[in-house]
Amino acid sequence: MSNIVIGDLEFEPFITFEEIQEKIRIIGKEISIRYADNNPVFIGVLNGCFMFMSDLMKEIDISCELSFVKLASYHGTEQGQISQLLGVGIDLTDRHVVIVEDIVDTGNSLKYTLQALENINTASIAVASLLIKPTCLQHTFDNIDYVGFEIAHEFVVGYGLDYGGKGRNLCHIYKVCS
């Protein structure tokens, strides 16, 4: 793997596709065991989760359903104001829900998603996130149960994560060169 340039930024290799797939296998097994008899609903937060969600679903070997929601919150490298939650399309009453995120950094998007689902009377809500930035969190969560990688305050692209709409298709994760 070599460095890449997207727009005005240079990125260096950070997490390989193979490392990502190994973490996803582990998360998939843990979720399958926990929800074996519960037919959970996986809700992917678009756009960034699409690669993680796709590969995670391949590792889930129990009955389940899935849907997607969309939030508008990022502008370039900075988070903007979240405008609304679009989607779901499944009755979540008394259902076990697993929210699938690409990354949790400040936690603003996750907080908004959880608040939107809070009043639906779900049986439970857990979160699976490929990446989390613990030092950037502005909120406390007790239901981020599945995390692929804890990373420092790095700006990353690849494997669903973008910079200005570009880089989502990369199979590895890259970070801005220091």
State residue 83's pLDDT score.
43
8 an active-site residue?
A: no
State residue 112's pLDDT score.
85
Cα-based distances in Å from 15 to 12, 50, 74, 130: 10, 17, 22, 11
Domains in the chain: how many in total?
1
State residue 116's pLDDT score.
80
Answer whether 31's CB lies under 8 Å from 95's CB.
Answer: no
User: pTM of the prediction?
Assistant: 0.89
Q: Which residues contact 106 (CB under 8 A, 6 or more apart)?
A: 79, 136, 137, 138, 139
78, 128, 139: which is closest to 106 by C-alpha?
139
State residue 87's pLDDT score.
66
CATH number of the structural domain spanning residue 66: 3.40.50.2020
Q: Which residues constitute the domain of residue 172?
A: 4-72+81-176
Q: How far apart are CA 76 and CA 56, in angstroms?
A: 27
Residue 134 has what DSSP assignment?
G
* Ranges of the chain with pLDDT below 70: 72-88
Among residues 55, 91, 102, 105, which one is catalytic? 105
State residue 85's pLDDT score.
54
**Length of the chain counted residue by residue:** 178
State residue 120's pLDDT score.
83
Token pair belonging to 105 = 């950094």
